[in-house]
Structure 1
Amino acid sequence: MMSQVGAGGRVAKTLYTFSACHPLLNMANKGEGMTLALGESRAVSPWRIIQTEVLANGAVMDTLKSLSAFAIIPAVDYGQVAPEHRPAVGEAIERVLNSAFRETPTSVVDHCRAALTILLSRWLVQSGHERDTVFGVDLGDLAKKVEKLELYCVAKSAQIVALLHNRGKPNVQHAKGARPPETGDDELALQAIGLVLREFGWAA
């Protein structure tokens, strides 16, 4: 078994060590919440330990949850996206998928913010807004436009990701005493993209 160790819940540098299952019983929360890496150096997939239990024969069984953006972000139904918007939407989603659970939480949040900016602006154009009124507009302002159309879940999700993005800025952390995005915050940003795709009817 390979376990991924990160100081303080933040993985700045990945360290892979072998550990038998039984020592998990002596760890905090029996290892639950830790990240488990399956595979080898050439191909590794991350999993979260969500339950550890001892079977009748004395063996230790772990229940795992895949840490993959593919389990969070649905495939895009590009038939619902205007042809001129498909390249931008596809590239934005691809960058998010490539960063998820591989880069730092701050980086993942940044990619999610950029993707949501693309999604909201392109959807607004398809809904009748002029390009000049939405292209190049900040995510927070796009969220306000969407909120006026009563897509409240989309608007609030976008606003949360925009706030998390600001927390990744050192000057904001210093001025407001805000903590930077941490593990879990990035997953929330990924969930926001999945919700937006479903709300727009762009999920396959």
Structure 2
Amino acid sequence: MRALLFVALAPAPRLMIGIDPNTNLVYEGLSNFGHGLWPAPLLLRATFIREPEDWAQVPNTGALRNASVVFREDFFDPVSRIRRGRFYEPSLSAGQPALWWVHPHPTASDASKTKNGAGQVNLSLLTFVPMTRLVERLGPSPEPVVVLGAQPAVTAWSVVAVERADHDHDVVTLKARLNFGFLPELLTEAIPAAARKRVTEAVAKVVDAAHRQSGIALVDLCRAAATVVLAEMLVEQGKARDLLEKDLGEVVAALPEQAKLRRSAADIIRMLHPRGKPNEQVRLGTPPVTEADGLFALEAFAFLLRDLGWAR
């Protein structure tokens, strides 16, 4: 019988990136030998969100010197809100920053620097290597969440696909979690003065949840905000103030019959709310609330604000 010979293949070398901390020029190469990249890729600090508490780990600066994860954007479509790119982490073996031999950058003059026999110059670069075993590291969530940027300018994205490419790079596809605007612009002057504080606070909580929370939490906050908005509107129109103490079902019942769209939008939010409770899911035979359901509730709430003339 012919013996089978198994050969253990060494892992493919991974293309590192280096950033000159003095010029912010970006280089790429193998084993600290590289070349300049031009146009320069967009590099953003990234934070993986596995629990709500992880939002506290989002950095306050976009500087890459102390970054633990960096996202390199290869493609962005603002219409579909899809991004593709790669995640990098600091090189532990090379140190930070690390010495590189690089070919002169196409936009920089390195005439004064000493070159080696290959025409390369010696630079000290912030060095990052591609993240490995990304699927395992992202955890069991079907669509892990990653935050790009630094506070207060951040966006949240779902990791919808991971593909292994050449050099063992994991290429990721990201989808914006929600519309970038979340809610229409609030017209505070159009909101009755007596209601302005409660309405703006309720809307602010919804906007914050759209960034950070699950679909269930977003539905809950949309329900609370819709209750505030509609009750305040009805009180302004002459209804008794005790309506401000009622839940959404009672507030909807107080709407005039001809306000069919407002009633329907509020009912969507109201009827989604029980689906977040496991016992109600069993009783009603409904699936759990998803992120898409949260977005549906958000759109219904946005309609209410626009229809009242309190947003545009």
Taking structure 1 as the reference length, the TM-score comes to 0.70
Higher relative contact order by CA 8 Å / sep ≥ 6: 1 or 2?
Answer: 1
Query: Would the alpha carbon gap of residues 13 and 88 (structure 1) be closer, same or farther in structure 2, given more than 3 Å must change?
Result: closer
CA contact 1:3–1:19 (8 Å) conserved in 2: no
Q: Match of 1:179, SS?
A: coil
The whole-number CA distance in structure 1 between the counterparts of 2:176 and 2:209 is 18
Q: 2:308 aligns to what?
A: 200
Is structure 2 residue 178 aligned with structure 1 residue 67? yes
Q: Which residue of 1 is the match for residue 221 of structure 2?
A: 111
- 1:203 Cα offset (Å): 0.9
Hey, what's the Cα distance between the residues in 2 that align with 1:123 and 1:107?
24
Q: CA deviation at 1:64?
A: 5.9
* Residue pair 1:49, 1:64 contacting (<8 A) in 2 also: yes
1:35-46 aligned at under 5 Å gives the runs: 37-39=147-149, 44-46=154-156
Task: Name the counterpart of 2:269.
Answer: 161
TM-score (norm 2): 0.48
Question: In structure 2, what residue type is equivalent to 1:123?
Answer: M
In structure 2, the partner of 1:98 is 208
Structure 1 unaligned regions, length at least 5: 23-32, 51-59
Whole-Å Cα distance in 2 between the matches of residues 108 and 155 of structure 1?
19
Residue in 2 aligned with 1:76? 186
More strand by share: 2
Q: 1:127, 1:44 → 2: CA distance?
A: 39
In the TM superposition, what is the alpha-carbon distance from 1:93 to its structure 2 partner?
Answer: 0.7
**How many residues were matched structurally?**
181
Matched, 1:140 2:246: no
Q: Deviations over 1:52-86 (max 9, x none)?
A: xxxxxxxx9x7965735x61311221222221111
Query: Is the 2:281–2:288 contact (alpha carbons within 8 Å) kept by the matching residues of 1?
Result: yes
Contact between 2:155 and 2:211, CA under 8 Å: does it hold in 1?
no
Which one has a bigger Cα radius of gyration? 2
Once residues 186 and 153 of structure 2 are traced to their aligned partners in structure 1, the CA distance between those partners, rounded to angstroms, is 26
| CA spacing shift, 1:40–1:203, aligned 2, 3 Å | closer
Counterpart-to-counterpart distance in 1, 2:284 and 2:302: 30
* Counterpart Cα distance in 1 of 2:234 and 2:255: 8
> Identity of counterpart residues, as a percentage?
30
Counterparts of 2:144 and 2:270 in 1: how far apart (Å)? Answer: 28
Higher helix share: 1
Instruction: Assess, with a 3 A threshold, how the Cα gap between structure 1 residues 110 and 119 changes in structure 2: closer, same or farther.
Output: same
Structure 1 distance, partners of 2:148, 2:285, is 37
Counterpart-to-counterpart distance in 1, 2:227 and 2:250: 10
Write the distance in 1 (CA, Å) between the matches of 2:53 and 2:204.
24
1:194 match: secondary structure: helix
1:177 Cα deviation after fit: 2.7
